[in-house]
Amino acid sequence: MGLYVIPLRQHIGAPCVPNVSEGEKVFRGQCIAEPNGLGAKIHASVSGRVVKITEGDIKIEGEFTEDEDYIKIKKCDSIADTAFEAGIVGAGGAGFPTHIKLKSEIPDGFVIANCVECEPILNHNIALIEEDPGLIVRGLQYAMEATKAPTGYIAIKSKNKKAIESLKKEIEDLKNIHIKELGDIYPVGEERAIIHEIFNLWLTPEQLPMEAKSVVMNGETLANLARAVEDRKPVIDKDITVAGKLKSGKDSNIFFQVPIGTSIASLIEQCGGIDGEFGEIVIGGPYTGKAGDIDNAVVTKISGGAIVTIPLPEFGGPLGLLVCACGADENRLKSIAGKMKAEVVATTNCKNLVEIRGANKCLTPGECPGQVQAVMELKRKGAERILIANCSDCTNTVMSCAPDLKIPVYHHTDHIFRTVDHELSRRLSLED
Ligand code: SF4
């Protein structure tokens, strides 16, 4: 029993349009909202009664929450249509409808499984590979079949040795699927960064992976594709990591297949609850997550995690902000600065940041263009300390000049990493 809040927008594009009414009984797996243009179908994650429909969501009072059964999607002639019926979107955070990617035809191309799980602290993607590598490999094979791509890659950080071993066993008889091991730096999981690592080619920010004859799909998305093809299961459950200042301790808690619409607060309770005073509840990962509202945050098709942090440090003086395209945007940095009670006196962008159709993009994600000018500019404009959102390589560059300029540095992930005793984003060690 309990209330499940199913957002009508869990994807790129306009919100879906409900096809059920208030008071109606619905069943787990039933389609309850249809896409309005670009988008993906939304299904009930629990059986129960629709108690409220608003512009933003459908609220279902669950009646049989332990029920794992579901209404299967209809049989389809193509894998792309199966993905459409199942409402699959990119589970890594972008929420791009998967059926559109699967309509690509790349008879001399590649499907790349993004199993990088780039954000520290989040562990559910790697845990799934360790537990069921076949699910991801079969999902990759279905995506290759749909797009006619003869070759598949699985991109994964080399530090995930157990997961890599599981994958190697799974693909030992498959000559057309290869594993590409990557370093443990941020944002090596960005899709253009992966393409650069595999093909030694930088796509421009306007170019899509298709320019490299590639379709890139998150590992969890591929697992959902395998479930849709084999079990006719729609996307009604989500894997998620819950971590931080919790009574269960500092280790990440992994929840497999949580019904979409489950409140984040209830997952935190399952981890023993919040351990005393806290700062933020970050929804997503340390780099790209945003502060969420404990009373309203719910699991969606694209939720990566929930991290309860220690209180933020206070600095009542003049602060400069350095914005990154792949980490925190200006609004997120301003929000953190506000919680630090700092006075923002200057803001500048990493010079690799370009605006494409209203979104910040990086020219070469993770490859630093030099940060000395940016740090000097913030100092010249009166900043006595700086709050940065940079990638690993650029943070390394900031740290090679800011101490000499006598500018103390905060990274926007500091309070998150300090919570779980994770190494702070600062100078890169030689092994990195
Ligand atoms: S190069 Fe600049 S914009 Fe690109 S990821 Fe690094 S800090 Fe961000």
User: pLDDT digit string (tens) for 324-373?
Assistant: 999 999 999 999 999 999 999 999 999 999 999 888 999 999 999 999 99
What is the mean pLDDT of the segment spanning 168-173?
97
Spatial CB neighbours of 392, under 8 Å, sequence gap ≥ 6: 185, 186, 366, 425, 428, 432
**Tell me, what amino acid is at 178?**
H
Range ranked top by mean pLDDT from 93-97, 190-194, 356-360: 190-194
For a substitution probing ligand 1, which of 326, 371, 396 has the most ligand atoms within 8 Å of its CB? 326
Rounded distance between C-alpha atoms, residue 332 and residue 126, angstroms: 27
Per-residue confidence (pLDDT) for residue 430, from 0 to 100: 57
Mean pLDDT of the chain: 96
Ligand 1 pocket test, pick from 368, 372, 387, 395 with the greatest ligand atom count within 8 Å of Cβ, gives 368
pLDDT of residue 424: 97
Give CA–CA dist 397/278, Å, rounded. 31
Nearest C-alpha neighbor of 60 from the set 4, 2, 1, 16: 4
Rounded to the nearest whole angstrom, what is the distance from the C-alpha of residue 186 to the centroid of ligand 1? Answer: 9
Residue 61 has pLDDT above 80, yes or no: yes
Q: Where do the domains of the chain lie, and which CATH numbers do they carry? A: 2-62 (2.40.50), 79-231 (3.40.50.11540), 237-308 (2.60.40), 318-419 (3.40.50.2300)
Atom of ligand 1 nearest to the CA of 351: 2
Whether 394 is in the pocket of ligand 1, judged by its Cβ within 6 Å, is: yes
Write down the pTM of the prediction.
0.96
Nearest residue to 5 (alpha-carbon basis) of 42, 54, 59: 59
Atom of ligand 1 nearest to the CA of 360: 3
With a cut of 60, say whether residue 74 has pLDDT above it: yes
What is the reported pLDDT for 431?
59
Atom of ligand 1 at shortest range from CA of 389: 7
Pocket flag, ligand 1, residue 203 (CB < 6 Å): no
As a whole number, mean pLDDT of residues 158-170 equals 98
